[in-house]
Amino acid sequence: RRDRPQFDLVGALLGSLALLCLLLVLSQGPTWGLQSPATIALVIASVALAFGFQRWERRAPAPMVDLSMFADRLFSAALASSVLAYLAIFMLNLLVPFYLIHGLGFDYLHAGILLTPVPIAMVVFAPISGWLSDRIGSRLLTAGGMLLVATSFYWLSRLGIHPSYLDLVPPLLINGVGTGLFTSPNNSAVMGAVRPGRVGTAAGLLATSRSLGMALGTATAAAVTALRLPIHLADHLTPAVAALASYQDGFLVAGIVALLAAVTSMVRGSARSVASGARPAEQQAIG
């Protein structure tokens, strides 16, 4: 028990405070103003705390995060893809209900029914993509999935003022398919890129990347709509049309984020080359 490493309290505080400052900037920045002293101070604090976290983790006797793991390009790119993908996904989760109910005037029942293609497609395609990733690797599946997600967001941003059910179902269905294609292969890539002794750490970092993406996605969606709504109102649009336009701006931003996730998925390198020095069993797990 005396040999058990101590909890990295300093690292946990530095990392948590850096994320807290960043989330406050995204959620409150549009209200305070991007050039307000509070917003600028939080940006500086977030950068300084993140830098301090990185410096501390490199010399801590029992670091919360072993930064040497990020030297593996497959591991780092897959985690980055996870953050970006969940950021885009949670922008969808926040924006689409408001878009349907407040922008298009759907009631809650019909809005809920219209959202069902997304989880249905995810449930169907997630196991299929997991099976395929064991045979062809994760890179093409994850990149292709995020390209589909980006396409769906662009489609949603281009719909008119009065789209029908048939106009809305295809992009939402494509979004669910893309998410289903991405999730299982990316998780497999993260877990397969580490040695058996680091699987627990990798699982924790993967969960953290998802939580970070969720938090950033919610804050980013709120920030984009809050920033764009006054601009559309200044163009003499009615409040309803201005709100609709601000939601569509949010879809465009989410599409850009999904494109970035596709890029990080493509540059992760092949699992076979990354695992060239691993044992055969590890190569199979990575692939």
pLDDT digits (tens, 9 = 90+) for 133-165: 988 888 999 999 999 999 999 999 999 888 888
Over residues 45-75, the pLDDT tens digits come to: 999 999 999 898 888 887 877 788 888 888 9
259 and 81 in contact (C-beta within 8 Å)? no
Model confidence at 280, in pLDDT bands (50, 70, 90)?
A: very low
Question: Is residue 232 classed as helix, strand or coil in its secondary structure?
Answer: helix
With a cut of 80, say whether residue 4 has pLDDT above it. no
With a cut of 90, say whether residue 199 has pLDDT above it. no
45 vs 61: CA distance, rounded Å: 25
pLDDT at 3: 57
The interaxial angle of helices 239-266 and 165-192, nearest 10 deg, is: 30
Residues 110-135, mean pLDDT to the nearest whole number:
92
Alpha-helical segments (H) within 4-66:
9-32, 37-59
- Structure tokens, 35: 């050039």
Burial (0-12, 13-18, 19+ Cβ within 10 Å), 207? exposed
C-alpha neighbours within 13 Å on the C-beta side of residue 62: 7
pLDDT at 13: 92
Over residues 14-41, the pLDDT tens digits come to: 988 998 998 888 888 878 887 899 999 9
* Integer Rg of the chain from CA: 21
Architecture in CATH for domain 72-286: Up-down Bundle (1.20)
With a cut of 50, say whether residue 170 has pLDDT above it. yes
pLDDT at 35: 86
pLDDT at 283: 38
